[in-house]
Structure 1
Amino acid sequence: MQSFENVVQAAERTDFSGAVRVDRAGHTELALARGFADRSHGTPNTIETQFATASLTKGFTALVVASLVDSGVLDLHTTARSILGDDLPLIADDVTVEHLLAHRSGIGDYLDEEALGDITDYVMPVPVHLLATTEQYRAVLGGHQTVFPAGSRFAYNNAGYVVLALVAERASGTEFHDLVRTRVCEPAGMVDTEFIRSDELTGRAARGYLAVSGLRTNVLHLPVRGSGDGGAYSTLADLSAFWEALFAGRIVPSAWVDEMVRPRSEWPQEDRRYGMGFHLHATNDAVFLEGSDAGVSVASLHQPSTSTTYTVVSNWSNGAWPIVSILNEQLGI
């Protein structure tokens, strides 16, 4: 069993607030929690704390859609327009489910991260309490012009995954959060993963903080309840269970997993590739999900060839990344 003393030291040196877990060949080699879930009351983070996951949630959305395609409710070539009707008219008529899954849709993004500057500077364009259901997100999805023709290139797009959630919800007749629960969480045994309102956090959920110290939280920066592009809360144990279930074919059939982790785009600016809903290492078989938002930073990775899984999740905006870098170096990923 490998020592991870350097990770422990880095957590102390950087005032890490969050939790870390490393599993290899079915054995947990590191489980660490540090900092506070609630700084005001001195409530510590634990390895059982529920953390917000930001864009890591996109992997769940992609699997909901893949499950619906596998069930015959949708098809990869289903156009968003055929489901949306007259809603969101600026989305081009030829944009398909597959384009949206692979970030190749070209639709305008309501949350263009490259144009918004520091992650803690921006706020939502409507009051955050008005973004609690997927249908309510139509208020921020509309009014954004097409950026490029569908399928012509890759561009990471938050709006595309909310549109996917809306398409999945309307096509199935089931509310999106329930689709994640029944089609992803339950098959994977993820008992502590859910979309929690930021104004109704449970006793086990960590508040998200905008800086390494201080009491200011992210409650005014994010939708009150997440949707297809981010916002689920989860735990170390659940995310470990997620990867095991995914590659065992318990969420969607293994053939679908292979299709989702097949490289569809190069992403040289980020030194990686992208499939459908999943980030892919530039040169090896590692598959990962990550999220970065005001008060949230998380990365969860699985490498099939070495049976290695790790999750680093932090409840402040930049907390996870120093630990992720050390783990990638030590594990040779």
Structure 2
Amino acid sequence: MIDEIAEESGFSGVVRIDQAGEVFAKAYGLANRTYGIPNTVDTRFGIASGSKGFTALAVLSLVREGALALDTTARSLLGDDLPLIADDVTVEHLLTHTSGIGDYLDEESDLDVTDYVVGAVHELTTTEAFLPLLGGHPTKFPAGSRFGYCNGGFVVLALLAERASGVGYHELVRERVLRPAGMARTDFLRADELPADAAVGYLPLDGIDRSNIFHLPVLATGDGGIHTTAADMAVFWRALYAGDIVGSVADVLRPRIDVPAESKRYGLGFWLDEHTDAAMLIGGDAGVSFKSRHDPQTDTTWTVLSNTSPGAWPIARQLASI
């Protein structure tokens, strides 16, 4: 089935399914089209917003230690920065996309990621460097009143985590999420110096597939873009549910708000199935598409990673329907 969909859609990426101790893993397409380098099951892919879950877990580890609280206001750590963020916006609002703050990358608008270019991407190497992008966006709705997917909110979370802990965001995620989970091949990779085992992202521009290097920040921050492998995602879900990252996942994955437009619910940094206990991480951007889902009832995990904008979705839709 997967082979057939991959052939029909021109899929470039990796699919992995873990179920009842059995593993299916297969790679398709090219990691680098210029040099004809094929994807392998060990290729590292950017996962765009899929890494919002990692940001959430780093923040929640600080909550568990008392350095932050879910009711900590953003303003208490922002000081005079980002004055348009309302005084009552809390860490929990940001984690659940209910903050109402204006977004530098607003997915509620008619956004085409192929057309969107983020300013001077080569300068976006730290969380603080995003401040000029985050500022100047008026509040969209009162905090807590509804769901409104917000990329900027997770950059703000990364900023709050840095200021509360005194540790840079990238190292926070490495120390508090990646290492405890045993994700040895997941990391923040610079787009302008990708290693040989990382896939280049591609998107169609003027009828030609080109690299996404001018479309994404050169180094990912809180709202997404870490690179990982299909095997590391399987490791991640096992570690999360085993309590190796932030202890019990009950509060992390408790539904906080319904999102009927997506036929899903949302917890703290994680998408949740509308009717079951399954949890998901999902990411899509220029030259990137990703979905990973774990169902604790059937102990089934599947992950689809692609280095094209639409690549993951046909296979992910089929897997979700099984």
TM-score in terms of structure 1 length = 0.94
2:166 alignment partner AA: G
Question: Quick check: 1:190 aligned with 2:151?
Answer: no
> Which of 304, 321, 324 does residue 316 from structure 2 map onto?
324
CA deviation after TM superposition for structure 1 residue 13, in Å: 1.7
CA deviation after TM superposition for structure 1 residue 279, in Å: 0.3
Contact 1:39 1:215 in 2 (8 A): no
Question: Quick check: 1:172 aligned with 2:203?
Answer: no
Question: Quick check: 1:219 aligned with 2:208?
Answer: no
> Which of 19, 29, 48 does residue 14 from structure 2 map onto?
19
Distance of 1:302 and 1:67 partners within structure 2: 21
Residue 134 of structure 1 is matched in structure 2 by 127
Q: Deviations over 1:29-81 (max 9, x none)?
A: x1010100000000000000000000001000000011000011111111111
Distance of 1:295 and 1:139 partners within structure 2: 25
Question: Quick check: 1:90 aligned with 2:84?
Answer: yes
Distance of 2:251 and 2:40 partners within structure 1: 35
Distance of 2:77 and 2:111 partners within structure 1: 34
Distance of 1:103 and 1:276 partners within structure 2: 9
Match of 1:216, SS state, is strand
> Which of 5, 16, 23 does residue 10 from structure 1 map onto?
5
Distance of 2:144 and 2:110 partners within structure 1: 25
CA deviation after TM superposition for structure 1 residue 153, in Å: 1.1
Match of 2:305, SS state, is strand
Residue 291 of structure 1 is matched in structure 2 by 283
CA deviation after TM superposition for structure 1 residue 9, in Å: 1.4
CA deviation after TM superposition for structure 1 residue 120, in Å: 0.3
Contact 1:40 1:215 in 2 (8 A): no
Match of 1:258, SS state, is coil
Gaps of 5+ in 1: 1-5
2:149 alignment partner AA: Y
Match of 2:258, SS state, is strand
Q: Deviations over 1:160-182 (max 9, x none)?
A: 00000000011100000001101
Alignment of 1:28-67 (within 5 A): 28=23, 30-67=24-61
Residue 3 of structure 1 is matched in structure 2 by none
Alpha carbons of structure 1 residues 149 and 114: separation in structure 2 relative to 1, 3 Å:
closer
Residue 247 of structure 1 is matched in structure 2 by 241
Q: What is the aligned-residue RMSD (CA, Å)?
A: 1.2
Q: Deviations over 1:182-210 (max 9, x none)?
A: 10000000001111110010111100000
Contact 1:116 1:122 in 2 (8 A): no
> Which of 244, 249, 258 does residue 250 from structure 2 map onto?
258
Residue 305 of structure 1 is matched in structure 2 by 297
Distance of 1:21 and 1:235 partners within structure 2: 10
1:11 alignment partner AA: A
Distance of 1:309 and 1:38 partners within structure 2: 27
Q: After alignment, is 163-172 or 126-135 more displaced?
A: 126-135
2:178 alignment partner AA: C
Distance of 1:214 and 1:249 partners within structure 2: 46
Contact 1:289 1:299 in 2 (8 A): yes
Residue 104 of structure 2 is matched in structure 1 by 110
Residue 146 of structure 2 is matched in structure 1 by 153
Count of equivalent residues: 321
CA deviation after TM superposition for structure 1 residue 326, in Å: 1.2
Q: After alignment, is 61-70 or 209-218 more displaced?
A: 209-218
Contact 2:107 2:149 in 1 (8 A): no
CA deviation after TM superposition for structure 1 residue 152, in Å: 1.1
Match of 1:210, SS state, is strand
1:263 alignment partner AA: P
Identity %: 59
1:20 alignment partner AA: V
Distance of 1:237 and 1:190 partners within structure 2: 9
Residue 181 of structure 1 is matched in structure 2 by 174
CA deviation after TM superposition for structure 1 residue 114, in Å: 2.9
Q: Deviations over 1:299-332 (max 9, x none)?
A: 00000000000000000000000000111122xx
Distance of 1:158 and 1:99 partners within structure 2: 13
